[in-house]
A and B are shown apart, each in its own frame.
Chain A
Amino acid sequence: MVLKILIGVLLTAVIVLGFGLPMVAQPASLFEFPIIPGLEEKARIIFFHVPTAWLSVIAFLTSMWYAIQYLRTKDRMNDEKSAAAAGLGLLFTVLATVTGAVWAKFNWGSYWNWDPRETSIFVLLLIYGAYFSLRSAIEVEEKRATLSSVYSIIAAVTVPFFVFIMPRIMSGLHPGAKGDPGGAGPVVEFRMAPGMRMVFFTSLFAFTLLFIWMFRLRIRIAHLESHDHRED
């Protein structure tokens, strides 16, 4: 309950501040954003697009974590958690892809450019697609849990190749790609104005809480469903 209210307050603040704060040439206070040449108002995407992409990675790692736990304990609940995290991951990956593609149309000129990060998120979508098709292909619960756990771990170890190596090999449009004056690498150096930074990190935090809340809801649903199942 407390969590729900906190998420509501934080996300409302992020939406209001993220869209509402004015953009001026020389930001004087914390409540004014600087105008970034070439981006202008479009810079506001960072408050929403980056957190969804962040959550898709968090969800992916959570799914892998519970997959490992399942293989260790063989407790069916861990498999439910792994699947629930993967489901949320799929949702946020789609959100990140769609918001990014719409934004790219207006800023980079086309919906899709096969920039390294776009390639990575595309692969993440493929992995989730494959993961859920594998799950739907197996009827026996225990077998499904084991095989999909193994698959999600294997998929998870190949993802760093995209996230870390590909952006450095290919040139791209996102910050942190090869040829970026701020330096290439997965960790982009922060050159954000203090006001934007405040809203950005609040947003990141709020989205993470949102993930935790949605994840717990899903687990509860899965738990109730399996309980009903046992009583039949």
Chain B
Amino acid sequence: MRRLIRSAVTVFLKDMHSEMRTRYAVSALLMFVLTTISVILFSLGSEGASRDALSGMFWVVVFFAAMSGLSRTFVMEEERGTSMTLQLTASPEAVYLGKLMFNMVLSIGLNAVTVVLYAVFINGFVIGTVSIFLATIMLGSIGLAAASTIIAAIIARANTKGTLYPVLSFPIVLPLLLTVINATRLAADGAILDEALGEFQVLISYIVVILAVSFMLFDYVWKD
């Protein structure tokens, strides 16, 4: 157990280092968020949208930004031809956990940036209950990272690297998206924390289920 965690952390640090070197995923994600938010701004023009629509659109930005960057961690290994070496040096569980940690950090960072940009640029987006909103963002980021990590592992093995990723991820992520959109709407409307508890239960059970299944199945995807 200790060795597993240590080796997972090593995989995570390795990914962080190579990310620091190229800043590929981070810049791709950032630019994606910026472009999508400006597209929303331009399409809205001077007219505002309802709070419900804006809280839905927030997750549209997050989802597609995640789809542009979160597959990077696995696709990179295939492109550089380093996946074989990684298979030899680390156990599949450690690789999975390391990559998962990397994607979680990435997606939490991505969401934090998106929240700031969204709040600054889009005027009608006001949050009534901050606690619900923060919890939704946290759980949403973790869930998104959990689901997209295993799909990224699948996609890296398939011949089409980028195009299929959102197609495969969307049905898997949809329960999460519907729930976080609902919770964000509650937060925007200023609901009390108790009202959103049902949403949080769904989110937590979703994360647990996806993590458990990915952990069990990753072995089959990873090994040749």
Contact = CB atoms under 8 A, between A and B. Distances in A.
Give the dominant DSSP class at B's interface: helix
Interface string A214-231: 000000000000000000
Given A161-B202, A165-B175, A133 B154 contact: no
A129 B214 CA distance: 21
Given A71-B220, A154-B217, A166 B167 contact: no
B175 A134 contact: no
Nearest to A124: B171
A213 interface: no
A158 B175 contact: yes
B174 interface: yes
B94 to A, nearest CB: 19
Interface in B138-157: 150-151, 154, 157
B170 interface: yes
Given A154-B213, A165-B202, A137 B175 contact: no
A3 interface: no
Interface in A143-158: 143, 146-147, 149-151, 153-155, 157-158
Nearest to B221: A150
A123 B170 CA distance: 9
Contact of A130 (B168, B213, B220): B168
Interface stretch (B2-10, B12-20, B68-76, B158-166): B158-166
Contacts of A123: 171, 174
A166 B221 contact: no
B117 interface: no
Contact of A155 (B160, B167, B172, B214): B172
B53 interface: no
Given A146-B221, A150-B220, A166-B178, A155 B171 contact: yes
A142 to B, nearest CB: 9
Contacts of A153: 213, 217
Given A153-B217, A169-B198, A143 B157 contact: yes
A183 B213 CA distance: 32
Interface string B118-150: 000000000000000000000000000000001
Nearest to B167: A130
Nearest to A161: B175
Interface in A108-131: 119, 123, 126-127, 129-130
A162 interface: yes
A147 to B, nearest CB: 5
B175 A139 contact: no
Nearest to B202: A165
A157 B220 contact: no
Contacts of A147: 154, 157-158, 221
Given A146-B220, A147-B154, A151-B154, A158 B171 contact: yes
A138 interface: yes
B182 interface: yes
Given A150-B217, A153-B213, A165-B175, A129 B167 contact: yes
Interface of A: 71, 119, 123, 126-127, 129-130, 133-134, 137-139, 143, 146-147, 149-151, 153-155, 157-158, 161-162, 165-166, 169
List 10 tightest A-B contacts by C-beta distance, closest first. Answer: A161-B175, A126-B171, A127-B171, A137-B160, A130-B168, A150-B217, A137-B158, A138-B158, A157-B213, A130-B167
25 contacts: A71-B220, A127-B171, A130-B168, A133-B167, A134-B154, A138-B158, A139-B159, A143-B158, A146-B220, A146-B221, A147-B157, A150-B150, A150-B154, A151-B151, A153-B213, A157-B210, A158-B172, A158-B206, A158-B209, A158-B210, A165-B175, A166-B175, A166-B178, A169-B179, A169-B182
